[in-house]
Structure 1
Amino acid sequence: MLFELFTACLLALESAGAETRASSDPVEVAFSAGLTNMLSLSHTERVKYDRLFTNIGGGYNSNTGTFVCPTAGIYVFQFHSVAHQDKAAWLQLYKNFEYVASTYGHTSNDYASTGNSVILHLSKGDEVYVQAVDPAYGYSTNLYGATNEVYCTFSGYMVSPVYEEIPGNGK
């Protein structure tokens, strides 16, 4: 009886124009990636974190440095970095080509660390990535990393799925 009632509610939502999660959408989404090499970014470019610690749901692409949202929901993103000695790290988080948040670190005669985190509402297919700031605004970005020393990371995970309204087609 309960199953039939639940099914009837889902059918009513669909006919009213509400989106339900597609059976192929992952119910768990989480990724964490790190940088395993020194990286000097002399212009605005995405950081391609090359070591995958986890990629549940398959949203992160280490070839592009981009997370593509596989399931609509509320997500937490964190990005951290260490600048090479006497250098700077100036990074920005973007969602679909729009600025969200920054980190900046610079110090003389030492390494500088930075970090930030945000909570974002994402739709399926939204892109989130970290990119260097154009050095014309100040310093170029020099990230510290080695195979056995991963200090620069980019991570994200879904806190909760969100079933969004799709504009109706006259129903």
Structure 2
Amino acid sequence: MEIMVFFSLLLLVCSVSTNPTEADNEIVDQQISNQQPCQQDIHAVLREMAVSLAVQKLCSEVKLIKLLFTLLDHSTKLKELDGHETELDRQTTEIDQLKQQLQDKQVAFSTSLLDRGTLDIGPFNTDTTLIFKQVFTNIGNAYNPHTGIFTAPVRGVYHFECHAYGYADIMTRVELFKNGERIFIILELQPSHIWTSSNGASLLLEAGDHVFLRLSANARVRDSQGHHTTFSGHLLFTM
């Protein structure tokens, strides 16, 4: 009898615990309603973070594009500057060439055998190149006062003149040479007195050709403070 009563009470308790009441249902509904706003807030935050990251990425890309355009602009300006420098160098080279051509066309010299005093040159046993030491004019520096040789700087026609002073019974014989070719002779011989003889020629010279005066063997020439023995020349025109 007691056992039957116990089982009856147990079944009653189980039936009460397994059937939810309205209060229980309200509690569950409240928990569900509290969870839904929380999930919605998380999704909203995630969306905002995604948008923020996208905006930051876009800003970074825009900055990168601006930087690339800036670099491209600088590169273009550098190329333009290089082009200007190249053009400036070309113009400078042309100006230097024109200056050199102008200087080459300005050729003239005038010299005398002695720079001071009175002196006889010769006679010698062999032909001797005369060195004119007194330089009055040497435009273009084509005449060398150390060797007595004129060197043509450009191809053209040049005119040369020579005056030679002699005296007494020793002949005066001076020859003008173009490289190894004799062009003309100044020759004078008298038993007494003094004399001055001269000669001249216009020559077509190539650049680098040499022109000089040579005193013949056994001949003599004199110069003094009056500068009677002279050698001069100038460029007439280029060719």
What TM-score does the superposition give when structure 2 sets the normalisation length?
A: 0.54
Aligned-residue offset at 1:27: 1.7
Question: Which sections of structure 2, spanning at least 5 residues, go unmatched?
Answer: 1-96
Residue aligned with 1:58, SS: coil
More strand by share: 1
Match of 1:114 among 194, 197, 204: 197
1:59 Cα offset (Å): 0.6
Which letter does structure 1 place at the counterpart of 2:190?
T
Structure 1 position 127, deviation (Å):
0.1
Q: 1:22 to 1:94 in 2, by over 3 A?
A: farther
Q: Which residue of 1 aligns with 2:122?
A: 40
Give CA deviations for 1:101-130 in whole Å, capped at 9, x if unaligned.
111011112112211100100111000001
Shift of 1:143: 1.1
Q: Gapped runs of 5+ residues in structure 1?
A: 1-20, 135-139, 163-171
2:223 to 121, 130, 145: 145
In structure 1, what is the Cα distance between the partners aligned to 2:195 and 2:110?
22
For 1:71 and 1:22, locate their aligned partners in 2 and report how far apart those are by CA, in whole Å.
14
Match of 1:82 among 165, 178, 184: 165
Letter of the structure 2 residue corresponding to residue 88 of structure 1:
M
Query: In structure 2, what is the equivalent of residue 5 of structure 1?
Result: none
Deviation at 1:77, TM superposition (A): 0.5
- Normalised by the length of structure 1, the TM-score is 0.74
Give the distance between the partners of 1:62 and 1:41, measured in 2 at CA.
21
> Measured at CA, do residues 22 and 40 of structure 1 come closer, stay the same or move farther in structure 2, by a change above 3 Å?
farther
What is the CA-CA distance between 1:149 and the residue it aligns to?
A: 2.0
Q: In the alignment, which of 24, 31, 34 is matched to residue 109 of structure 2?
A: 31
How many corresponding residue pairs? 136
Looking at structure 2, the residues matched to 30 and 96 of structure 1 have their Cα atoms a distance apart, in angstroms, of: 19
Equivalence for 2:33 = none
Q: Distance in 2 between matches of 1:156 and 1:41?
A: 26
Q: Which has the higher helix share?
A: 2
Does residue 157 in structure 1 map to residue 239 in structure 2? no
Q: CA deviation at 1:22?
A: 7.4
After the TM superposition, which segments of 4 or more aligned residues of structure 1 sit over 6 Å from their partners? none
* Relative contact order higher in (CA < 8 Å, ≥ 6 apart): 1
Contact 2:167 2:192 in 1 (8 A): no
AA at the equivalent of 2:135: L
